[in-house]
Chain A
Amino acid sequence: MPGAAAHPPLPTADGNSRAFWDGVQAHSLLIQRCAACTKFQFPPAAACEHCGSAEPAFEEVSGRGVVLSFTETVSGARHPYFQAASPYLVGLVRLDEQEDLVLASNFPGARYDDLCIGAPVEVEFQEVAEGVCIPQFRLAADHEGVR
């Protein structure tokens, strides 16, 4: 791809998110789940947002979800990588495990007209730079091409 940047901005883990990103590099989607109240939470935090218990543990989830919202960014991207990549799809995915587990995605392989809210998606892991993966969500096979 032409452009000034070889890759998009890379995620920088913090103390709460390190296990999440380590999981992603190993192609596993790990979401925090509270041992006390059994609820999931994302983004990762130091305590359970539901009951306040300390140190919720990470648990692998199905990687399945639905399209929550989407757009096509045509102009206005700030980072040189995305300026060169424009137009590109970006939006939010809601994981099946719990209503408020919301992650970003670029919906690889899809066109704007392919996307519709509620369409099922599945996680995949995209290597955006050498040794750096991010989770992406692709329209589920049984949904491909459905308008």
Chain B
Amino acid sequence: MSAPRHTAAFVGFGQSRVFRAAEVPLGELALEATRAALEDAGLRLDQVDGLVCTPDAPFSRGQSADGVEFVSSRHLAGALGIEPAWIEDVSGTIANSTLAAIRAVESGACSYALLFRALHNPASGSYGHTAESRSGEIEISGTDVHQVIEQFRASYGLYPPADGAALPWSQYQARYGRGSREDMAPLVVQARNNGLAYEDGYWARYKPFPLTTEDYLLARMVSRPVSIYDCDLPVQGAGAFVITTAERAADLVDRAAYVHGIADGVPARGKVSVDETLEEQMADNSDIGRRLWADAGCGPGDVQVADLYDGFSIQTVLWMEALGLCEEGAAFDLIRDGHTAPTGKLPINPAGGNLGGGRLHGINHLMDAVQQVTGRAGKRQIDGVDRAVAAVGLGWAAAGFVLGAGPAE
């Protein structure tokens, strides 16, 4: 009998308070989240010998002061008063730093990895709007690679966040004859309702009201067919996880979330695109899916819940199809028939994801997958969850995870 491919397990989760904008320095929220995660795991601070995060702001040039507008691992180590043997900042999203934490534990680089992610939303002005983007000759919308590509899209008013969802969505509609706003409504309405069942989410905490189909259909348009409710709400907050080996997990907690499979995002392409097409997004996501199921030694029929990235509503649909949770072009049939609701045959984002909880990127998705397989999701708990799949992010800043209620075999 061969050794299991994976030996890591999630043993703790913590989330900070969430604010609409930067009322509290981000470093304080990172401390809240990490302390809560350690308490959840029953781990002493002096046992933490690994610390990792993704410090990147979710928009360009939004970060200047460590501990205020972004939080690095070194900043948090100083704030916690620890000197872990392994410490790292990983670019991308929490997807990337979660992979690093799992690998650090499995390779023996550390015994107890504390993983955190803190997301900033400026207190004034509009999200991601910088002085450069308001007045500059060239629109800056992301990383350096975007500065090269902006010359081919800024003059057209092509804005990657919302248009990057609207354009593939328009392709999807043409290709499958599905995906009208009426088709999308149940997914978005359900996301909000699910989010209201997660008490630490933004909507549950501040605006605990369901979204109606009518609200959705009458919503302010951003980039057709993307309305304001197809976009997650930017918030300020932090989440943290404790990851260790399955063996050590048994000494800490009754039930751990065991890593069964992982898959990295696709490597950055040699070429950059003016904007990603449906074909490119599906190819990337499908590639992650293929490697994820191979690594986990199971398939899409073996998971009872899916936590799928939903910075924009269409992204959840693309993940459903790319991971093989349904046939290509069939996601809206499942949504229409209620199968993606908590009572359906494939519940999606029962904690609300980002649409129902606020823009904490993959924190919500990983948290829910961990809690579902450990039976700790409270009123959100789906019956009989043995395995959960989580897909976080997009492109190179994405990853897939399969977590199980028992150790990987």
Contacts and interface: CB of A to CB of B under 8 A. Distances in A.
A-B interaction:
yes
B353 to A, nearest CB: 21
A71 B169 CA distance: 9
A13 interface: yes
A25 interface: no
A116 B171 CA distance: 10
A75 B152 CA distance: 21
A143 interface: no
Given A69-B167, A104-B158, A13 B151 contact: yes
Nearest to B157: A82
Interface string A10-38: 11111001000100000000000000000
B277 A74 contact: no
Contacts of A72: 221, 223-224
B153 interface: yes
B149 to A, nearest CB: 7
B157 A69 contact: no
B211 interface: no
Given A9-B139, A104-B275, A118-B174, A70 B167 contact: yes
A14 B155 CA distance: 15
Interface residues of B, number: 43
Nearest to B221: A74
A45 interface: yes
Interface in B126-152: 126, 129, 133-134, 136-139, 148-152
Contacts, number: 130
B137 A10 contact: yes
A90 B171 contact: no
Interface string A66-90: 0011111111111111100101101
Given A43-B152, A88-B157, A68 B138 contact: no
Contacts of A118: 174
B134 A78 contact: yes
Interface string A94-118: 0000000011111000001000111
A92 interface: yes
Contacts of A45: 271
A45 B152 CA distance: 13
Given A8-B156, A11-B151, A73-B159, A68 B222 contact: no
A85 B129 CA distance: 18
A92 B129 CA distance: 24
B226 interface: yes
A134 B155 contact: yes
B271 A92 contact: no
B283 to A, nearest CB: 12
A91 interface: yes
A43 B148 contact: yes
Nearest to A16: B148
Given A12-B137, A90-B158, A71 B167 contact: yes
A115 to B, nearest CB: 9
Contact of A74 (B148, B155, B223, B273): B223
A75 B222 contact: yes
6 contacts: A45-B271, A49-B271, A90-B158, A91-B167, A92-B274, A104-B153
Interface of B: 126, 129, 133-134, 136-139, 148-159, 162-163, 166-168, 170-171, 174, 220-226, 270-275, 277-278
